[in-house]
Amino acid sequence: MSEDNTDTERFVEEHERQINDLLQDVEDPAQTSDDDGFSMQLGGLELGRRDFMKAGAAAGVASAAGALAGCQTALPDSATPNDSGDGGSQGSSSGHGHLVAPGEKDEYYGFWSGGHSGEIRIIGIPSMRELQRIPVFNTEAARGYGYDDQTTEMLENEGGGYTWGDNHHPNLSETDGEYDGEYLYVNDKANGRIARVNLKYFETDAIVDVPNVQSVHGCTVLSPDTKYILGNGEFRTPLPNDGRDVNDPDKYTALFSAVDPESMETVWQVKVDGNLDIVDTGKEGRWAIASCYNSEEAVEIQGMTHDDRDYAKVFDIPAIEEAVDAGEYEEINGVPVVDGTRDSDLNEGDDPLVRYVSTPKSPHCVEVGPDGKYAFIAGKLSPTVTMLDLDKIGEVDDPSDAVAGRPKVGLGPLHTTFDGNGHAYTSLFIDSQVAKWDIEEAANAELGSSDPVIEKQDVHYNPGHIQALEAMTTDPDGEWLVSLNKLSKDRFLPVGPIHPDNDQLIHIGDGEKEMELVADHPAYPEPHDCIFAHKDKIDPATTWDREDYEGEKPFVTEEDSGVERIDEETVHVKASSKRSEYGMFDFTVKEGDEVRLTMTNVEGVRDIIHGVAIPEHDVNLAIAPQDTREVTFTADDPGVYWIYCTYFCSALHLEMRSRMIVEPRD
């Protein structure tokens, strides 16, 4: 334990040293010369710069760096010491080609979370070319997402009506432990939601606003068959959160939620002590392991990092299901909530719902290794990774006895990934490195030993998640690793004070050779995590299949095109679209009419999208071949409005127009 104490102190010192260097090195003196002028509100306290730095260092690497990125220019070189060995290569000297020639395709799909942009991005590996973006919690004009009735209603009704989300953890659905290519699930940290993306159409098709929680941070599917989507309610809040009890820690709670992947309904929740950060599951469907901070259960942030220990929580899914089936729950807002706090009756005896495992203070990520034997819990404020033996966790009396190793890997360990050949790779936020280490050696070494570390690779700069190919499966493919670096600093042409992130591609091969940094890729704010699937596991549609929406929406042919008056103030306009004309050259409605426009793209070929823009009515649809979209709007003002196609679809694309005539109602 004294080892951990010293480590934490060393970490805080090191972090403060770096920040001091940073502040001295800022180029524009106008921004920092007036020391007294600097203050910010943190946890309700007015803090001077020195206080802020201390608070930032103590409150955690990620939050401190986030605050810095917001109030300073880029970190100077001195903030990223490269003093631990090989110095790192800056380019590909050995010729590990990642470029994909024109006309050739990538080997892997990469699904990137988009952070507070709210979207998912599809990036090809190894080229790192961006292939597509899928709007999820955001609206996206280019795809008409959040403009047609269906997606607008999903965002407003099930989605809770928020205009943005903060997605961190994309997950692919599994059958028998293999990616089945059906769905991607992702959390919204900002508003406590989980969304589902249909991988046939690469479109978001469902969102659930998880009851009783403010934030869903950690998010994972339960391996091996996607029985649930599991979400960590990160922020403790009073339950019910109705303005009473705001200063009573006993009334605050954090909830671990299970969502049904088909119905997207929240089927149960578990009340726990301490905050919940990140979660992963074992490979056999029994264990879910979540990292946890604020075991102090402070309700103000200053109190959240007092103690030197926190814990990981190990959820026994079948035991939780049994408790729910036995009716041992309280129903809150329609969801059965079982009590998994430490003192709960349900945690007594041999089959507790939740096992609390002591770890160094404020751990960050949890990833379960490919063989399912260990959960790897990165230390964040401790320079170690705690390995939890999942074969033992159900057997031992004291869950701490299931700690199988704790290698010291470097400063600010956040996330771990795997090559399938016995190596783990951990991102070091403070050291700006990736540490590669030997898993079995770590299991045999003393706790806190750095002997298992094989090699370190500099990255630029301050990595969060790192991911190797199919590292979250039982059979990782090695070869490439991506380091998602929070700061790009000086790596690209400057583009103003909001810098891009930097996603770096690193060749790892089968793990036997040295890591090699191969490419930098600027990333729009702000990816957190990514997940890779071999191209053979994903099978997207090239056009829509109208049977998939039969009964929900019509398929409008040229012959069906026309205007139907529903009542005095409502009309239904139906039109087809094809190269290069709409099913009607004009249509007439009355001033004040509510217009429902239903349009089908009747093209049978791929890649011919038609758009519908109606000037001055905020109407914008994007319709793929064989798809139908609907939009409802009000024709407020009499006049002529030129409807036009927004997708460049043919030589006569500019001529693809129609007139909406709005007659005065007199």
The residue among 486 and 574 lying less far from ligand K7E, judged by its C-beta, is 486
- For position 653 contacting ligand CUA by CB under 6 A, the verdict is yes
Q: Could you check whether the bond before residue 500 is cis, i.e. omega within 30 degrees of 0?
A: no
Rounded Cα distance, 20 and 14, in Å: 10
Instruction: Tell me the closest approach of the beta carbon of residue 621 to ligand CUA, in angstroms.
Output: 11
Q: Does 217 bind ligand K7E (CB under 6 A)?
A: yes
Task: Give residue 284's region: left, alpha or beta (phi > 0; psi -120 to 50).
Answer: alpha
Binder of ligand CUA out of 649, 658, 660, 662 (CB under 6 A): 649
The span from the CA of 272 to the CA of 292, in Å, is 10
Residue 143 binds to ligand K7E (criterion: CB under 6 A) = no
Number of Cβ within a 10 Å radius of residue 254: 30
> Using the rule CB under 6 A, which residue among 197, 324, 656, 662 binds ligand CUA?
656
Q: Are 609 and 626 in contact (CB under 8 A)?
A: no
**DSSP-assigned letter for residue 446:** P
Kindly state the helix (H) or strand (E) to which residue 441 belongs, with its residue range.
helix 439-444
Partner touching 72 among ligand K7E, ligand CUA, none, CB below 5 to 8 Å by kind: none
Taking the least distance from each CB to ligand CUA, the nearer of 526 and 603 is 603
The nearest distance, CB 540 to ligand CUA, in angstroms, is 22
Min dist CB 582 to ligand CUA, Å, is: 9
Please, is 325 exposed, middle or buried when counting C-beta atoms within 10 Å of its C-beta (0-12, 13-18, 19+)?
exposed
Tokens linked to 629: 């979209």
The one of ligand K7E, ligand CUA, none whose footprint includes residue 414, by CB under 5 to 8 A per kind, is ligand K7E
Candidate list 15, 96, 168, 227; residue touching ligand K7E; CB under 6 A: 168
647 binds ligand CUA (CB under 6 A): yes
Instruction: Report residue 309 CA to chain centroid gap.
Output: 27
Phi, psi for 79 (deg, rounded to 5): -80, -5
- Name the minimum Å distance from CB 544 to ligand CUA: 16
Instruction: Indicate the residue among 341 and 557 with the shorter CB distance to ligand CUA.
Output: 557
Under the binding rule (CB under 6 A), the answer on residue 465 touching ligand K7E is yes
Q: Which is nearer to ligand CUA, 534 or 579 (CB)?
A: 579
Q: Does 528 sit near ligand K7E (CB under 6 A)?
A: yes
Q: Which segments of 420-549 are extended strands (E)?
A: 423-428, 433-438, 453-458, 463-469, 478-485, 501-509, 516-523, 530-534
Query: For residues 121 and 130, is the Cβ–Cβ distance under 8 A?
Result: yes
Decide if residue 643 touches ligand CUA (CB under 6 A): no
- To the nearest whole angstrom, how small is the minimum distance from the Cβ of residue 62 to ligand K7E? 6
| Smallest separation (angstroms) from ligand CUA to the CB of 630 | 18
Q: Which of 415, 465, 610, 617 binds ligand CUA (CB under 6 A)?
A: 610
- Contact stretch for ligand CUA (CB under 6 A) within 374-382, 478-486, 630-638, 642-650: 642-650
Comparison of 278 and 390: residue with beta carbon closer to ligand K7E: 278
CB 356 within 8 Å of CB 399: yes
Using alpha carbons, select from 234, 247, 343, 240 the residue that is nearest to residue 293: 234
Beta pairing partners, 60: none
What are the beta bridge partners of residue 185? 171, 196
One-character DSSP codes across 14-43: HHHHHHHHHHHT-S-GGGTS-GGG-EEEET
Identify what 465 binds: ligand CUA, ligand K7E, none; CB under 5 to 8 Å per kind.
Answer: ligand K7E
- Per partner kind, with CB cut-offs from 5 to 8 A, the member of ligand K7E, ligand CUA, none near residue 656 is ligand CUA
Chain positions contacting ligand CUA, by CB under 6 A: 580, 610, 645, 647-649, 653, 656
Chain positions contacting ligand K7E, by CB under 6 A: 168-169, 217, 278, 364-365, 414-415, 464-465, 528-529
